[in-house]
Amino acid sequence: MAEFYFPQSRFLGADSDPAQAEVVIFGAPMDATVTFRPGARLAPPRIRELSVAIETYSPYQDLDLEQMAVADLGDLVLPLTDIEAALGVIGQAAEQIHLTGQIPGVLGGEHLVSLPLIEAALKTYPDLCVLHLDAHTDLRENWEGESFSHATVMRRVVERLGPGRLWQLGVRSGTASEFAYAREVGHLISTQAGELALLVEQLKNKPVYISLDIDVLDPAFAPGTGTPEAGGLSSRELLEIISQVVSKLKICGFDLVEVSPPYDPSERTCILAATLLRELALATSNTERRMRK
Ligand SMILES: [Mn+2]
């Protein structure tokens, strides 16, 4: 069994018994492969602490976390420098949650934590698709000789899923060959209404894993991240996409990664991350009903 340490506060409204919860939150505080500015492993406790600043009720979805069974397990105890071992621990923790039909919601950490999380979901949901919201393609074959990195994570995911099952939204940075690969093996979409409608149409009956890199947002809204990239979504656009698009999907797991408190002096990124975590948890409330269809 995975070992957790518990920060001083639980995430907002996540006070259910883990055995009874629909959504089970935990932190994966790892940033070993971050290429530019580390710090993401400090995010889960800070996002929890700052979640007291927001309400449990979402006017966007007209849903309240208080009406939902959400648990918070705390943060995984991870080996600091053994990346493979850390990924194993993260994957195992998620697998346990899937076994009981619950939905894991994970706070990174860097984006490489999504790989074991998606592998774990794939074991339970063999026809899994992934919706990846990010500024970056994350499709490099390797990064400075490393095949497991936050810059290669979606390439490894595609290798496990097979073609046609990765949908990428908000991407605006990568090499020409990464963009070519993205178009060849997956779906690169914009926030244009027609493309979002097509996404819902094609994914609504499939189990979907949501991987949200905070840098999909413009650095004006989310400066606290390791590799910010200009030209991103506004926080309002992203909140609308979650309430109007993501909530229509059968979400079987989600993560929120790459928040970096050392680059977030105003703490606006961490507070926004808490809001996004609330919205993602609430967006799963349709999932159980949809799974039965
Ligand atoms: Mn990114």
Query: How many A from CA of 15 to the centre of ligand 1?
Result: 31
Task: Please list the residues that pair with 136 across neighbouring strands.
Answer: 173
| Residue 21 pLDDT > 70 | yes
pLDDT tens digits along 201-251 = 999 999 999 999 999 999 999 999 999 999 999 999 999 999 999 999 999
Rounded distance between C-alpha atoms, residue 226 and residue 150, angstroms:
11
pLDDT attached to residue 290: 43
Task: Please list the residues that pair with 233 across neighbouring strands.
Answer: 217
Rounded distance between C-alpha atoms, residue 245 and residue 46, angstroms:
28
pLDDT attached to residue 130: 98
C-alpha pair distances (Å), 35 with each of 30, 121, 148, 151, 282 = 13, 26, 12, 8, 32
Query: How many A from CA of 61 to the centre of ligand 1?
Result: 26
Query: How many A from CA of 186 to the centre of ligand 1?
Result: 17
pLDDT attached to residue 34: 87
pLDDT tens digits along 131-151 = 999 999 999 999 988 999 999
Rounded distance between C-alpha atoms, residue 2 and residue 26, angstroms:
11
H or E element that contains 58: strand 57-58
| Residue 105 pLDDT > 90 | yes
Query: How many A from CA of 258 to the centre of ligand 1?
Result: 7
Q: What pTM value is reported for the model?
A: 0.96
pLDDT attached to residue 233: 98
Query: How many A from CA of 62 to the centre of ligand 1?
Result: 30
Rounded distance between C-alpha atoms, residue 103 and residue 84, angstroms:
24
* Band of pLDDT at residue 8, cut at 50, 70 and 90: confident
Rounded distance between C-alpha atoms, residue 123 and residue 134, angstroms:
24
Look over the chain and give the mean of its residue pLDDT values, rounded to a whole number.
95
User: DSSP labels for 92-118?
Assistant: HHHHHHHHTT-EEEEEESSGGGHHHHH
pLDDT attached to residue 288: 56
Contact status, residue 223 vs residue 267, Cβ threshold 8 Å: no
Of 3.40.50.720, 3.40.50.10420, 3.40.710.10, 3.40.800.10, the CATH number of 4-292 is 3.40.800.10
Query: How many A from CA of 168 to the centre of ligand 1?
Result: 11
Q: What 3-state class would DSSP assign to 285?
A: helix
Query: How many A from CA of 173 to the centre of ligand 1?
Result: 9
What is the average pLDDT across 61-80?
96
The β-bridge relationship of strands 207-213 and 250-257 is: parallel
Q: What percent of the chain has pLDDT over 90?
A: 91
What is the average pLDDT across 250-277?
98
| Residue 293 pLDDT > 70 | no
Q: What are the residue boundaries of the structural domains of the chain, listed by start?
A: 4-292
What is the average pLDDT across 156-184?
98
* Band of pLDDT at residue 289, cut at 50, 70 and 90: very low
C-alpha pair distances (Å), 210 with each of 134, 168, 214 = 11, 10, 12
Query: How many A from CA of 172 to the centre of ligand 1?
Result: 10
Query: How many A from CA of 273 to the centre of ligand 1?
Result: 15
pLDDT attached to residue 35: 83
| Residue 51 pLDDT > 90 | yes
Q: What are phi and psi of 210, to 5 degrees?
A: -105, 120
The count of other CB atoms within 10 Å of the CB of residue 208 is 25
pLDDT tens digits along 109-130 = 999 999 999 999 999 999 999 9
Query: How many A from CA of 69 to the centre of ligand 1?
Result: 30
